[in-house]
Amino acid sequence: MKRVLFGIAAIAALIGTPALAADLTYKAPPPTPVGTWTGFYVGGNVGYGWGRSSVNYAANDPQSAFNLDVGAGPFTRSLPDSGILGGAQFGYNWQLNRNWLIGLETDFDWSGMTSSVTSSGPFLNGPALTYSDTVTEKVDWFGTVRGRLGYLPMDNLLTYFTGGFAYGRVDRTANYVLPAGSGATGGFGSTCPAGAPCYSGSSSSTAAGWTLGAGFEYAVWKNWTLKAEYLYVNLGGKSLTEPALIPFGASALSSFNANYGNAAFNVARVGINYRFGGPSYP
């Protein structure tokens, strides 16, 4: 009987030893960490902006109505704006799950978008008398504060829609040159020196508006991502008063308004971001 029990114990020991050895030597590899988009980020961008505004005129008194309607006729000018831009952005992402993300981003860009258009024509149908009109518009800088709704088709690729508040500094000038001479109608008058602006006005102000756009961002290494983005920005219009620079005698100073359309433009830009915190991508 002892021999039988001893044999059973020996067989059990032979069977159990490999399994025990396997348990002691094998360890499952840790799961591969998945990067997260949650956290703060900061970066820079560079791009190009383009758009088209317009300007038309409205008389404020009988003398300016004569100069506009009778003299050179009512006219509208188109202003194609374009230029290089660049700046920085800062934001925060909340990754809701594997595929969806929401975020908030603010940016500030210096801008070279500018437009200047000069036109001329006959004044009072006189072949020797001409007028010239020069209008300019320049976006010095702009910024946005936007929400982002993102979708992650892959762990390291973010696509998103974005929109929110926009603001910017817009400079506008207008100069209207008429043939040399003086005149007054209805108690309003103007004196126009030869070759110099007869009516002139300028405005430089910070405008508020809105923006919409879309883009994508790709995690290239560790905490670094590359982005490409399109925005449409609308900063609204402006009415600019152009007074006569020199009155005629004792008459009141004549003036008219140059009504600028919306300073609306497209932005296409690329950038780079550095993300703080959270597991990084390999």
**For the segment 20-76, what is each residue's pLDDT rounded down to a tens digit?**
444 445 565 554 445 689 999 999 999 999 999 999 999 999 999 888 876 666 578
Q: Is residue 100 part of a domain?
A: yes
Q: Is residue 15 part of a domain?
A: no
Q: Is residue 135 part of a domain?
A: yes
The predicted pLDDT at position 15 comes to 46
Whole-number Å distance between alpha carbons of 276 and 90? 11
The predicted pLDDT at position 74 comes to 57
The predicted pLDDT at position 131 comes to 86
The predicted pLDDT at position 233 comes to 98
Q: Exposure of 226 by Cβ count < 10 A (0-12 exposed, 13-18 middle, 19+ buried)?
A: middle
228's tokens: 């490409």
Distance separating the N- and C-terminal Cα atoms of the chain: 64
Q: Count the domains in the chain.
A: 1
Asked whether 229 and 191 are in contact (CB, 8 A), the reply is no
Using alpha carbons, select from 191, 75, 79 the residue that is nearest to residue 122. 75
Q: What is the CATH number of the domain that holds 111?
A: 2.40.160
- For the chain, residues with pLDDT lower than 50 are 1-24, 31-33
- Residue range of the domain that includes 212: 39-275
Q: Exposure of 31 by Cβ count < 10 A (0-12 exposed, 13-18 middle, 19+ buried)?
A: exposed
The predicted pLDDT at position 28 comes to 55
The predicted pLDDT at position 10 comes to 47
Q: Is residue 216 part of a domain?
A: yes
Q: Is residue 3 part of a domain?
A: no
**For the segment 68-97, what is each residue's pLDDT rounded down to a tens digit?**
876 666 578 888 999 999 999 999 999 999
Q: Is residue 23 part of a domain?
A: no
Q: Is residue 24 part of a domain?
A: no
Evaluate if pTM is beyond 0.85.
no
The predicted pLDDT at position 34 comes to 57
Q: Is residue 10 part of a domain?
A: no
